[in-house]
Amino acid sequence: ADFDAKKKRKVAEIYRALNSDPIDVATLRRMAISEGGLLTDEIRCKVWPKLLNVNTDDLPPLPASKELREDNKDYQQVLLDVRRSLRRFPPGMPDDQREGLQEELIDIILHVLKCNPQLHYYQGYHDIVVTFLLVVGDRLAMALVEKLSTHHLRDFMDPTMDNTKHILNYLMPIIDQVNPEVHDFMQSAEVGTIFALSWLITWFGHVLSDFRHVVRLYDFFLACHPLMPIYFAAVIVLHREQEVLDCECDMASVHHLLSQIPQDLPYESLISKAGDLFVQFPPSELAKQAAQAAQAERTAASTFKDFELASVQQRPDTVLRQRFRERLRGEERTKSILTKPRTNRFVKLAVMGLTVALGAAALAVVKSALEWAPKFELQIFP
């Protein structure tokens, strides 16, 4: 009964935020993140567009499917993926209803790609689109998915996987901050981060079998920074600490363990933990470890300023952040002390080796490289 009362209060608060003028988006974000998320699909139809800043008053009509499919370079691949997506539809749904939805799904995807030629289809995209289709219906799904594809999902829709890999690179630094033992074990096993690829690019839609869990996560991700799914991925790995450490320390075993996602995860506590970690270790602080700043600049995440989780959750643990900063500074210092002399010695040894092997001509080339070296702190022989 207490739970029902809490639910009623939450529903009332959501409708208050929707009806206020202007709409209280900060409260809607908080509701989407906090326990239970947005509660019902009826509420999601009203709130999801607000979280994505999509105007629902004048939704464009659905395009004619025949025109979309003719001469479309992605049509065959989309068709294959959608045909394979049977298990993404509620069990017990009549065949003809499901087939109708699959046709709508193909059209939504082709429409978004046609209107945004800079976006490239990837396998797994349909897992995200079908979630929207099932919750909000075709016309609204088309508008929401288009907005999402040019914002949160933008990096997955590049012609190459570079930015997606870059985002995956955040996974290990987050794990390292919270649990260095798990981090080191995974490094020793050389497992990499590919096990989390399908989680990330489908927002877990592909790997979770219970639709309620999927839409609960979508509430959370839509209200948050585009990198939140990678924090959530880290939290799942950390939650399985014991299983990971009990595993054989080799790539195949650890990869197999991690890619099988447990279906009975404690979603609410993991969501709040992911939010806390985001506040404690924001992407800007992890970027140094994740990759060079230049690459980070190009990802959608770095242009996404509208993030209110920090003000919503409890204050970040300042002590932790300070300690983290001091540790980084310490590491930088030790690094510069260690690398300077060592680099020079290695370069000298390597130059000697080269001279013997390649004769004097090579020496001139290496020498000119060495003259550049101090400017770029170039390590020719890392």
pLDDT of residue 292: 42
Q: How many CB atoms are located within 10 Å of the residue 289 CB?
A: 15
Q: Compare 318 and 189 and report the one with higher pLDDT.
A: 189
Residue 31 sits at the vertex; the CA angle it makes with 23 and 91, to the nearest 5 degrees, is: 115
pLDDT at 32 over 90: yes
Nearest to 200 by CA among 173, 224, 232: 232
Q: What is the CATH number of domain 1-156?
A: 1.10.8.1310
Could you tell me which residue, 247 or 325, shows the higher pLDDT? 247
Work out the pLDDT band at 60, boundaries 50, 70, 90.
Answer: confident
Q: What percent of the chain has pLDDT over 70?
A: 76
Most confident of 255-264, 324-333, 339-348, 362-371: 255-264
Residue 382 has pLDDT above 50, yes or no: no
pLDDT at 328: 64
What percent of the chain shows pLDDT beyond 90? Answer: 62
Q: What is the pLDDT of residue 285?
A: 84
pLDDT one-digit tens code per residue, 350-375: 444 343 434 444 444 444 433 433 33
| pLDDT at position 300 | 52
- Considering only residues 36 and 310, tell me which one the structure prediction assigns the higher pLDDT: 36
pLDDT at position 299 is 52
Q: What is the pLDDT of residue 316?
A: 40
- In the three-class reduction of DSSP (H, G, I as helix; E, B as strand; rest coil), residue 185 is classed as helix
Distances (CA, A) of 243 to 182, 184, 194, 230, 256: 10, 15, 18, 20, 12
d(CA 108, CA 89): 16
- Residue range 109-128, pLDDT digits in tens: 999 999 999 999 999 999 99
Q: pLDDT category, 23, cuts 50, 70, 90? A: very high
Give the C-alpha separation, 281 to 322, whole Å.
11
Which contiguous run of DSSP H or E holds residue 75?
helix 75-83
Q: What pLDDT is attached to residue 17? A: 97
Which sequence spans correspond to the domains of the chain?
1-156, 168-313
Average pLDDT for residues 297-319, to the nearest whole number? 41
pLDDT of residue 162: 86
pLDDT over 60 at 227, yes or no: yes
Q: Which tokens is 357 given?
A: 């092997």
Residue 73 above 60 pLDDT?
A: yes
**Token digits for 118?**
């800079």
Mean pLDDT value across the chain: 81
Domain 168-313 matching CATH 1.10.472.80: the answer reads yes
> Which amino acid appears at position 321 of this protein?
R
Higher pLDDT, 322 or 348: 322
Statement: residue 103 has pLDDT above 60: yes
Task: Indicate the SS3 state at residue 250.
Answer: coil
3-state class (DSSP) for residue 159 = coil
Per-residue pLDDT, averaged over 150-174, amounts to 91
**332-349 average pLDDT score:** 44
- Express each pLDDT in 266-303 by its tens digit: 999 999 999 999 989 988 888 877 764 334 334 555 44
pLDDT (0 to 100) of residue 325: 61
The residue written with tokens 């927002």 in the block is 203
Cβ count within 10 A of residue 2: 6
Residue 228 has pLDDT above 50, yes or no: yes
Residue 349: per-residue pLDDT = 40
Helix (H, G, I), strand (E, B) or coil at 69: helix
Min mean pLDDT across 85-94, 112-121, 246-255, 288-297 is at 288-297
Q: What pLDDT score does 111 carry? A: 94
Q: In the predicted model, what is the mean pLDDT of residues 185-214?
A: 94
Considering only CA atoms, which of 317, 284, 286 is closest in space to residue 176? 286
Q: What's the pLDDT at 3?
A: 78
**Amino acid at position 106, single letter:** I
